[in-house]
Amino acid sequence: MSDFSERHRDWLEKVLSNQSDRSFHEKSQAKEAGELLDWGLSKLSAKDRMILELVYLEGLSVKEAAGLLGLSVSNVKVRSFRSRKKLEKLLTGVISA
């Protein structure tokens, strides 16, 4: 860094500081979003939560989730849609409050 002029050092420090602030803010937002999602999932029934966790958080296919849960593929799709809507309603209520 000794080859940089004072102006370049100031600029570099400012850029690094801005990146650090932005990174901290993004991490903070991600943590808050995760906590909100955990809260919302905890408010759902065990069946609704299980389907969402298997398909969206664990990344299983609908067919794999159906096999694990002993349900038809169609039933998992319907329950997944309804569970997402319930979660959306819960989270929208909290965010807009």
Q: Does domain 6-96 have CATH number 1.10.10.10?
A: yes
pLDDT digits (tens, 9 = 90+) for 45-94: 999 999 999 999 999 999 999 999 999 999 999 999 999 999 999 988 87
Domain boundaries defined on the chain: 6-96
Could you give the CA distance from residue 31 to residue 49 in angstroms, rounded to a whole number? 20
> In terms of C-beta density within 10 A (0-12 exposed, 13-18 middle, 19 or more buried), how is residue 36 classed?
middle
pTM of the prediction? Answer: 0.68
Q: Is the predicted pLDDT of residue 2 greater than 60, yes or no? A: no
